[in-house]
Structure 1
Amino acid sequence: MDTSGFLEWLKASLSSSEKTSDRRILRFVHPDDDKRFLRSLRAERPGSKPLRGIRRLGIIRAYSCPVPPEGLPVSFGGAIVWEEDIRVSTHAILAAQRVPADSGIPWGVRRIRAPEAWSRTTGHRVRVGVIDTGVDFDHPDLRHSLERGINLLQRTALPHDDNGHGTHIAGTIAAANRMQGMIGVAPRSAIYPIKAFDYNGTAYVSDIILGIDWCVRNRMDVVNMSFGMSTRSKSLLNAVSNAYRSGVLIVASSGNDGKRGRIDYPAKYPQTVAVGAINRKGEIASFTNRSDSVDIYAPGERVDSCWLRGNRKTMSGTSMATSHVTGAVALLLAHKPGLTPEQVKTVLKRSKRPLRNAKAPRKTGELDIARMLQVADKLM
């Protein structure tokens, strides 16, 4: 393929102010074409402003860039495959009232029996990537749990949270303020915030792929992805699969549309841990998507956790359920270092506690950390 000609076409296309461009993810069919294009792009990008909008997605050997609505010229069609760079949203609802400062151990953390495990494991030194809206670095409940992470939307800045969702997720996983704040599931784990979502709680698939790439390169042990979409993305599947093969487990939320027999991507990919939500009664929450693809359920209704400017708030959603499971995985990996993603999934599935609702699917169950550690000790 004439990769130089394709680069020139892209440059001319991106320079045109008359055309409204949509973001797409492009991948060369032949690896040699990819290598030649990457060399040319790196050589020409410094002197070409239009080419700076092209982003390399290294983990899947692809590129995200604006492409005119009419798409690629026919002459390049056989050598390149592409898909839309879809917008993705976080999985949270009901941003509700503030929570008192001395909130202690939230109900969800107690429900999954995390305090019973803290004499044996607190998640010490487990690296948790949270691909989300960033985090409040000044929050008193989180200060001792945070590492620098990365801001994919503004590379020179810290991944500060301008939405609140990421801070809430981080709090459930690893808040550590025993004296006057709240305690998360794995209070001695290390949170690495990866800001891929803007203040509206939305991101492009390519931003998420860049986040997964960063997590693999920086050796995260587990990654929390509390968001989803109804459309399948082959590019995102490739990134998730590559992370899984690299030893990085992704925990993802099933979605908040109350659907039966269907859950969102990336939770639907078999390489993730798919999480649904339960309420305080231990029943499947009305808002959660559910199907046989859900691996485990966890507390997701009216969950208290950290919020912006040092506050705390109550939120509901499969996002909240997912952060409980991510914290549990951090406890497990600190207790049994070196477990593969497949082994972690096996332990979670075999240690599920049956759901209370008689109408709940027989094959599913809720997270129980005490049982999880027992199963791990027997199996591993």
Structure 2
Amino acid sequence: MKYTLFVGIVGLFAASISQAQLTGTLNQVVSPVRPIIDRAPSELKSIREEARRKVQTSVDGARDLSTLGSGVVGKVPAPQFIAPTATTILSASGQKIIKEVRLENGFLAVEKEWLFIGEEADKAYFNGTNMEILEVKFLPALSQWLYKVKVTGDKDEVSYIRNSLPRNLQSQIGRNHIYLSQSEAATNKSKPESAHKLEASSQKFESCLIPLRIGMVDTHVVPTHPMLSHISLTQASFIVGQSQKSEPSKDSNMSREGDGKVIGQPMSQENTVAFSSDHGTAVASLLAASLPESSQVFNASVFYSRNSVSQGATLMSLIEGLNYLASQQVDAINMSIAGPDNPILARVIKQLDRNGIQIIAAVGNEGPASLPLYPAAYPETLGITAVDKLHEIYRWANQGDYVDFAAYGVSVDAAHPSGKTVRQTGTSMASPRATSLYACFFRTEQQRHAALLKMKKIALDAGNPGRDKVFGFGVLP
């Protein structure tokens, strides 16, 4: 993808931080639904287990089991994951902000940085000679303290770091991993469909009539694109290296959290890293395409530019962004990102589920042989894959038991920061549709479990009968 890189200079940023253009009733606020709607845990496990039993019954009753292997899954190579080459991220002034390292499992992390989530008193355990606390933050929406710790000695192995803590705290520390956005290169040209393919069955679904309240974790979004003109977009920056402030000042380029559109943006050029608005603007436009007028979208901007075609976000930024979105009491959070399993991220996702917030995430673009990627593979998360207009699976989409639904995500028309529309492809481009559908059903059905069952009901079964590792429960309209 050819990305437009933005360096966070105040003057440059001022031109792009205005509110998505508002008209008519857009100033109306979409109130959080607590306590009117049941926000109990979504019971995703029970829904998946029921589907698994139905598939197993079908398999046990088949006369010729070999015919079941001829479906779309087929034989796949052994699981693998190939991460990009580690790089060093510099600020606009040349200061080193992030030094990425490639771990033995192929994933990326910030060199010698670890995160711990727990109580305030737990900081006493990091006073040893091998570790120092770099940053401490209280996450009010999650009721937890977050510590960023740096290893000062030579020992940087998982076993050593965890064994230095009491046994009851060893599951509360993990590397400051780096997560990547999930989309292919954009193009202005349409991709021709194969002539031999049959037209897919038409699915009809009326657009939601109720204004929705949705969160997203992504890159910065350019809010002035015409595709965003009917929604209210508020965003806050948690990009590594950028300062955060909660109150506007005369000399800042921030605006009040409820009134303006961008808060917590960089105040100086010294520690600002380059970032792109391509991915987030595209995802926001795909969310907006399924949202009625006056809907509210809250974006946590977390990605820095690794190069012209890749964006990365530290786990620290992700958690800060999720805490922000939880404080906005959104109904669902779209995460078009993927990366390694991490005990800190797992705890945060579980807490958000307890808080009644559904996470919907792209399953990843590493191919059918990839290891499971997260947060999509967590049991509390809805994992979304991508199909084209004919419901053919995207060839690089991850496959596995964590795939719940498929949605249109191949060569889709999406917004570009330039104000134009480009074609985008990837599981990142499919998850916004699922997020919008869930949020709509959540508001109309008045219950999380009922909303998920409604999604399952409208999904068009594809691939092997029942839920499978390629399409999940089926293709959403």
TM-score (norm 1): 0.72
The equivalent of 1:226 in structure 2 is 336
Of structures 1 and 2, the one scoring higher in RCO (CA 8 A, sep 6+) is 2
- The answer to whether structure 1 residue 170 and structure 2 residue 272 are counterparts is no
The equivalent of 2:354 in structure 1 is 245
**Match 2:145 to one of 29, 40, 61:** 61
Within 2, Cα distance between the matches of 1:163 and 1:239?
Answer: 26
- The answer to whether structure 1 residue 354 and structure 2 residue 440 are counterparts is no
The equivalent of 1:25 in structure 2 is 115
Within 2, Cα distance between the matches of 1:147 and 1:288?
Answer: 29
State the secondary structure of the residue aligned to 1:327.
Answer: helix
In 2 relative to 1, CA 111–246 (structure 1 residues): closer, same or farther, beyond 3 Å? farther
Q: Tell me, yes or no, if the aligned pair for 1:163 and 1:199 is still in contact at 8 Å.
A: no
In 2 relative to 1, CA 95–111 (structure 1 residues): closer, same or farther, beyond 3 Å? farther
Within 2, Cα distance between the matches of 1:286 and 1:74?
Answer: 39
Q: What does the per-residue CA deviation read over 1:222-255, in whole Å, with 9 as the maximum and x for residues that have no partner?
A: 10000111x2101101100100110100100111
Q: What does the per-residue CA deviation read over 1:94-136, in whole Å, with 9 as the maximum and x for residues that have no partner?
A: 222278xxxxxxxxxx99857x413xx2341x21111000211
Q: Tell me, yes or no, if the aligned pair for 2:183 and 2:426 is still in contact at 8 Å.
A: yes
**Match 2:165 to one of 73, 78, 96:** 78
In 2 relative to 1, CA 111–263 (structure 1 residues): closer, same or farther, beyond 3 Å? farther
Q: What is the Cα deviation at residue 57 of structure 1? A: 5.0
Identity in percent: 21
**Unpaired segments ≥5 residues, structure 1:** 1-19, 41-49, 100-109, 175-183, 370-380
Q: What does the per-residue CA deviation read over 1:185-242, in whole Å, with 9 as the maximum and x for residues that have no partner?
A: 123332111101123421011211111111212101110000111x210110110010
The equivalent of 1:46 in structure 2 is none
Within 2, Cα distance between the matches of 1:368 and 1:145?
Answer: 23
Q: Which structure has greater helix proportion?
A: 1
State the secondary structure of the residue aligned to 1:298.
Answer: strand
In 2 relative to 1, CA 304–234 (structure 1 residues): closer, same or farther, beyond 3 Å? same
Q: Tell me, yes or no, if the aligned pair for 2:437 and 2:455 is still in contact at 8 Å.
A: no
Q: What is the Cα deviation at residue 270 of structure 1? A: 0.9
Report the AA paired with residue 456 of structure 2.
Answer: K
- The answer to whether structure 1 residue 88 and structure 2 residue 88 are counterparts is no
- The answer to whether structure 1 residue 138 and structure 2 residue 252 are counterparts is no
Q: What is the Cα deviation at residue 83 of structure 1? A: 1.7
Aligned pairs, number? 312
Q: Tell me, yes or no, if the aligned pair for 1:133 and 1:196 is still in contact at 8 Å.
A: yes
In 2 relative to 1, CA 76–260 (structure 1 residues): closer, same or farther, beyond 3 Å? closer
In 2 relative to 1, CA 206–234 (structure 1 residues): closer, same or farther, beyond 3 Å? same
Q: What is the Cα deviation at residue 339 of structure 1? A: 2.0
Q: Tell me, yes or no, if the aligned pair for 1:301 and 1:317 is still in contact at 8 Å.
A: yes
* RMSD over aligned Cα atoms: 3.4
Q: What does the per-residue CA deviation read over 1:333-365, in whole Å, with 9 as the maximum and x for residues that have no partner?
A: 3423x322x443333234321116899938834
In 2 relative to 1, CA 37–310 (structure 1 residues): closer, same or farther, beyond 3 Å? farther
State the secondary structure of the residue aligned to 1:275.
Answer: strand
State the secondary structure of the residue aligned to 2:174.
Answer: strand
Q: Tell me, yes or no, if the aligned pair for 2:315 and 2:345 is still in contact at 8 Å.
A: yes
Q: What is the Cα deviation at residue 54 of structure 1? A: 4.1
**Match 1:317 to one of 426, 434, 445:** 426
The equivalent of 1:203 in structure 2 is 313
State the secondary structure of the residue aligned to 1:93.
Answer: coil
1:299-310 residue pairs with structure 2 within 5 A? 299-310=408-419
The equivalent of 2:291 in structure 1 is 186
Within 1, Cα distance between the matches of 2:134 and 2:366?
Answer: 37
**Unpaired segments ≥5 residues, structure 2:** 1-109, 191-199, 246-253, 255-261, 266-274
In 2 relative to 1, CA 368–35 (structure 1 residues): closer, same or farther, beyond 3 Å? same
Q: What is the Cα deviation at residue 303 of structure 1? A: 0.9
Report the AA paired with residue 179 of structure 2.
Answer: V
Report the AA paired with residue 122 of structure 2.
Answer: D
